[in-house]
């Protein structure tokens, strides 16, 4: 293994093991989020600056934390304050929503260390459409809660018993040392909301006795969960109702729900008091100053430099979209592997970069759609407005109304579009519209 490879491996290990406090301790302490501890970030940065090796600091990926989390400090500070407010008697829950690649998962993951630093416990889960079923939803929530209750109980016998219990097929009930597990069965005609409320309240006593200040439920991809009136499934309304009641009875459960832009609408349709129960925070493209810092700060100590005009062009082309800022930076460094990279370098590789972006990011998403659905996507891309009325696309495609709305729902289920408002849809993925325009031109030429 070469010295460079060894260095990269060592650096990856440092990044993997570094805590939130070590990476952002200085900034977080200034905001009063973390205590006064020695920060590892400066030590790591100084050692990298002294190194003669060059490395690529950008991290494009799904939920991968970038070297500098731009434009999110106010949310970290607000979440920290919300935990303090809850201890004073005011429950605060969060909805984090926005298009793909805007840093929702990264932000939610950063909430975890802040909560644990304050003596709270966290439970994390990524949801999908299978949890629209009440029994599956209840099983996931209850299993996670009981597992965490077992972990904090410090009673090894009960912990082992709990682990064994959860490996069996649908046990009836267990209750020992305050830990309660009882699966939910729709056929028993018990309302899910009542069932979850009972589980939440009874297991809260375990956390309270163990000295846990509270439990934060970090739920990602939560836009995939919705109520099905036709099926008689109401996981969302039941869950919100149960948590609201548990909070009113003094149980410190904080909800952090993250998802695509249709998440707030799903929640409001489930419970009309959602807007009073949650703090809504929308993530989108970064403002110019933060976008610039997202590019320039990671470059320090990396051995690479970007010409100012290049940084300006990247911000302009990406519109400050967080994922593409990481992608552009990563791609130009990996392609050129030189110290100073200029705007002319980017111009020479533009075609290659767009081809790579289309292949690695857009093309597979487009192929998820059927031929009819692809026709609808291409027609939507031809509309100037970002909020598109279905009637416009029906006229353009000639697809029958009933069939059209079935396709539209399928596209939403595939996370390619979302209902932006009543009677209007938008693309879920930033710059997807531009890709579709390029795609259509290529199809017309061939």
| Domain residue extents for the chain | 73-282, 368-445
Task: Give CATH for domain 73-282.
Answer: 3.40.50.300
Distances (CA, A) of 19 to 24, 132, 309, 338, 408: 9, 34, 34, 31, 43
Range 268-272 average pLDDT: 93
Q: What is the mean pLDDT of the chain?
A: 83
The reported pLDDT for the residue numbered 181 is: 55
The reported pLDDT for the residue numbered 28 is: 46
pTM: 0.76
* Residue matched to tokens 């739920």: 219
Neighbours of 255 (CB within 10 A): 22
Range 156-174 average pLDDT: 46
Which position has the higher pLDDT, 53 or 349? 349
Range 353-369 average pLDDT: 91
Domain 368-445 has CATH 3.30.1510.10: no
The reported pLDDT for the residue numbered 316 is: 92
Neighbours of 305 (CB within 10 A): 15
* Residue matched to tokens 């912990």: 159
- Report how far residue 155's alpha carbon sits from residue 145's, in angstroms, rounded to the nearest whole number: 16
DSSP secondary structure letter of residue 337: -
- Report how far residue 239's alpha carbon sits from residue 231's, in angstroms, rounded to the nearest whole number: 17
Range 369-390 average pLDDT: 91
Range 34-41 average pLDDT: 41
Q: Tell me: the pLDDT tens digits for 384-419?
A: 888 898 988 998 898 988 899 999 989 988 889 988
Closest residue by Cα to residue 148 from 61, 82, 206, 95: 206
């Amino acid at each position: 293994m070469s010295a460079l490879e060894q260095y990269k491996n060592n650096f990856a290990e440092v990044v993997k093991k570094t805590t939130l406090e070590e990476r952002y301790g200085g900034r977080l302490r200034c905001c009063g989020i973390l205590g006064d501890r020695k920060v590892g970030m400066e030590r790591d940065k100084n050692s990298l600056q002294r190194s003669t090796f060059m490395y690529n600091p950008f991290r494009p990926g799904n939920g991968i934390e970038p070297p500098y989390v731009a434009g999110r400090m106010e949310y970290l500070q607000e979440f920290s304050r919300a935990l303090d407010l809850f201890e004073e008697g005011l429950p605060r829950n969060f909805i984090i929503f926005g298009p793909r690649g805007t840093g929702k998962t990264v932000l939610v993951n950063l909430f975890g260390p802040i909560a644990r630093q304050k003596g709270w416990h966290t439970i994390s889960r990524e949801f999908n459409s299978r949890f629209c079923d009440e029994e599956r939803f209840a099983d996931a929530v209850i299993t996670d809660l009981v597992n965490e209750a077992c972990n904090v109980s410090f009673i090894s016998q009960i912990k082992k018993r709990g682990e064994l219990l959860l490996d069996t097929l649908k046990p009836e009930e267990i209750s020992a040392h305050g830990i309660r597990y009882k699966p939910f069965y729709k056929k028993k005609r018990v309302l899910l909301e009542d069932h979850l409320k009972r589980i939440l309240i009874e297991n809260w006593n375990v956390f309270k006795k163990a000295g846990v200040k509270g439990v934060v439920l970090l739920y990602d991809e939560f836009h995939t969960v919705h109520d099905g009136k036709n099926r008689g499934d109401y996981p969302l309304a039941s869950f919100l109702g149960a948590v609201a009641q548990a909070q009113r009875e003094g149980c410190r459960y904080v909800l952090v729900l993250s998802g695509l832009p249709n998440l707030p609408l799903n929640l409001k349709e489930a419970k009309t008091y959602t807007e009073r129960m949650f703090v809504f925070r929308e993530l989108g493209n970064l403002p110019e100053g933060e976008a610039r810092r997202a590019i320039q700060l990671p470059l320090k100590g990396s051995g690479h430099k970007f010409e100012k005009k290049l940084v300006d062009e990247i911000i302009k082309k990406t519109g400050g979209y967080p994922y593409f800022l990481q992608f552009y930076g990563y791609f130009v460094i990996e392609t050129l592997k030189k110290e100073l990279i200029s705007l002319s370098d980017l111009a020479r590789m533009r075609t290659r970069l767009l081809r790579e972006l289309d292949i690695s990011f857009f093309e597979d998403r487009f192929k998820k759609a059927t031929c009819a659905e692809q026709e609808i996507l291409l027609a939507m891309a031809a509309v100037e407005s970002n909020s598109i009325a279905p009637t416009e696309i029906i006229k353009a495609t000639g697809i029958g109304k009933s069939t059209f709305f079935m396709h539209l729902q399928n596209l939403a289920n595939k996370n390619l579009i979302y209902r932006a408002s009543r009677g209007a849809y938008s693309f879920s993925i930033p710059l997807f519209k531009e890709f579709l325009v390029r795609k259509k031109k290529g199809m017309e030429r061939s």
